[in-house]
Amino acid sequence: MIFILKYLGGFFLGGALGANDCSNVFGTAVSSRMIKYSTAVILSAIFVFLGAVIDGKAGIETLSKGLRNKSSVQVQQSNIDPVRRSSVAVKTVVATSFAAAITVTIMTLLKMPISTSQAVVGAIVGVGLMQKNVNLGGLEKIVICWITTPLGGAFFTIVFYYFFKYFLDKWKPSVFIYDPLMSLLLTVCGCYGAYALGANNVANVSAVFVGAGMMTTMQAACFGGIAIATGVLFFAKPVMTTVGKSIIKLNAFTAFVCVLSHAVTIHIYAEIGVPVSSTQAIIGALFGIGFIKGAHVINYGSLLKVFSGWLFTPVIACALAMFLWIIENLSVNLNGY
Partner 1 sequence: MIIFSKNKELVCMIGKYLAEVQESLNAFRDAIRYLMENHLDEHFRIIAKKVHQHESHADDIRREIEKFMFGKSLLPETREDILNVIEILDKISNPCEDILSDFILQKTVIIPEIRTDFLELVDISCESSKLIAEAFWDCLGKCRKMDEYNVKIDDNESLGDSLEGKMIGAIFDAELDKVEKIIQRDFVKKLGTICNICEHVMDKLVICGIKRQV
Task: Write out the residues near partner 1 by the rule CB under 8 A.
Answer: 32-34, 164-165, 168-169, 172, 174-184, 251-254
Residue 190 Cβ vs partner 1, minimum distance, rounded to whole Å = 15
* Residue 174, Cβ density class (10 Å: 0-12 exposed, 13-18 middle, ≥19 buried): exposed
Smallest gap, in angstroms, from Cβ of residue 152 to partner 1? 22
Minimum Å distance from CB 244 to partner 1? 13
Strand ranges inside 211-272, DSSP E: none
Using the minimum distance from each CB to partner 1, give the nearer residue, 4 or 176. 176
CB neighbourhood size of 6 (10 A): 22
d(CA 28, CA 32): 6
Based on its alpha-carbon atoms, the radius of gyration of the chain, rounded to whole angstroms, reads 20
Report whether 2 contacts 219 (CB < 8 A): no
Asked if residues 118 and 146 have their Cβ atoms less than 8 Å apart, the reply is: yes
Closest to partner 1 by CB, 141 or 165? 165
Q: How far apart are CA 149 and CA 233, in angstroms?
A: 26
User: Alpha-carbon torsion 42, 45, 48, 50, what sign?
Assistant: negative
Smaller CB distance to partner 1: residue 134 or 181?
181
Which C-beta is closer to partner 1: that of 253 or that of 337? 253
Cβ nearer to partner 1, comparing 217 with 261: 261
Query: Closest approach of Cβ 161 to partner 1, in Å?
Result: 8
Q: How many CB atoms lie within 10 A of CB 172?
A: 8
Least Å from the CB of residue 205 to partner 1: 35
Compare residues 177 and 327 and give the one whose CB is closer to partner 1: 177
| Of 32 and 86, CB closest to partner 1 | 32
Name the minimum Å distance from CB 8 to partner 1: 40
Query: Which phi and psi angles does 124 have, rounded to 5°?
Result: -65, -40
Select 34 or 127, whichever has its Cβ closest to partner 1: 34
Contact 12, 229 (CB under 8 A): no
Alpha carbons 37 and 18: distance in angstroms, whole number: 14
Residue 53: beta bridge partners?
none
Min CB(183)–partner 1 separation in Å: 6
From the CB of 50, what's the least distance to partner 1, in Å? Answer: 23
Closest CA to 245 of 65, 14, 29, 16: 29
